[in-house]
Amino acid sequence: MSFTIRPALALAAIATLTLAACETTPAGDPMGGIPANDYVLVGIGNGTVPLRNITLTTRPEGVSGRGPCNGYAARNTVPLPAVAFEPLQTSGVSGCADEAVEQRFFQALQQATEMEYYGGVLRIKGPTWLIFESGRPAESATDALSAARGNQ
């Protein structure tokens, strides 16, 4: 190996390290920078969801949650933050009062292509965006005193 090739190898190594430092997600992060957490739907497209009765739980293998009518789960077939969900699995309940909102949510989730998390807000992007905040609906949360009392 000649002396002139060594500086070229050193420059290539430096360039590789520089590009690796620009990556936004830690190497080996199965969540692609998306916090594994429980979320509540607060917006579909340009509108808000006032009832806050649709949940989403993120995991490396996919998402799951509850709507006003059905429980659901979907496996993600690509590494996060990209998404390509397999067909949604639901509990199959129909005819409830909020079925139209739930079906709109399911359709938007099925068509999603990417997730991003910024400032405490999870956005699932696709033709129709889904906007989530961390947490669970008020009716499913318990305070510390109630949890300590149990079924007394």
C-alpha triplet 59, 71, 133: angle, nearest 5°: 55
pLDDT attached to residue 25: 45
Compute the half-sphere exposure of residue 98: CA atoms within 13 Å on the CB side of its CA.
Answer: 15
- Is the pLDDT at 73 greater than 50? The verdict is yes
- Total residues found in the chain within this entry: 152
- Is the pLDDT at 123 greater than 60? The verdict is yes
Does residue 11 lie in a domain region? Answer: no
| DSSP-derived secondary structure letter, 137 | -
Among the listed residues 86, 82, 55, 83, the one whose alpha carbon sits nearest the alpha carbon of residue 68 = 55
* Domain enclosing residue 62, as ranges: 38-137
pLDDT digits (tens, 9 = 90+) for 19-52: 444 444 445 688 999 999 999 999 999 999 888 9
Domain count, the chain: 1
Does residue 116 lie in a domain region? Answer: yes
Give burial (CB, 10 Å; 0-12/13-18/19+) of 115: buried
- Give Cβ neighbours of residue 20 (< 8 Å, ≥ 6 apart): none
Top pLDDT among 67 and 28 is at: 67
Cis peptide before 81 (omega within 30 of 0): yes
Does residue 22 lie in a domain region? Answer: no
Does residue 131 lie in a domain region? Answer: yes
In this structure, what CATH number is given to the domain that contains residue 42?
2.40.128.270
Q: What is the pTM of this model?
A: 0.73
